[in-house]
Amino acid sequence: DAGITQSPRYKITETGRQVTLMCHQTWSHSYMFWYRQDLGHGLRLIYYSAAADITDKGEVPDGYVVSRSKTENFPLTLESATRSQTSVYFCASSDQVYNEQFFGPGTRLTVL
């Protein structure tokens, strides 16, 4: 199906474990973004990517790693999950950095 998808939709993990959240888009958009959404903080940018093999930090990058070997995929890895990383994670894509960002359905992550 065309669009932007995220997997898994729900994930429960334990402190210290590595977790990878997947994001896939079918539009061949150049730009992809990862946000986390928390009560009281709204949407905050974690990392973004302007093209394959080009990534940069956002507002809250600590504890996260990204890669982009293919234009359509932008996985987000929590190398050693902490309780403070319990959140809803949204992936988004855009053809130009100033243009509309299309958001995925989100991944609800709980770290116990």
State the Cα–Cα distance between residues 67 and 76, nearest whole angstrom.
7
The site for another protein (CB under 8 A) is made up of 33, 40-45, 48, 58-59, 90, 92, 97-98, 100-106
- Secondary structure class of 60 (helix, strand, coil): coil
Distance of closest approach, residue 24 Cβ to another protein, in angstroms: 14
Of 15 and 84, which CB lies nearer to another protein in the complex structure? 84
Return the number of the residue (28 or 40) whose C-beta is nearest another protein: 40
Specify the residue, 74 or 90, whose C-beta has the smaller distance to another protein. 90
CA distances from 55 to 11, 42, 51, 66, 76 (A): 25, 22, 8, 8, 12
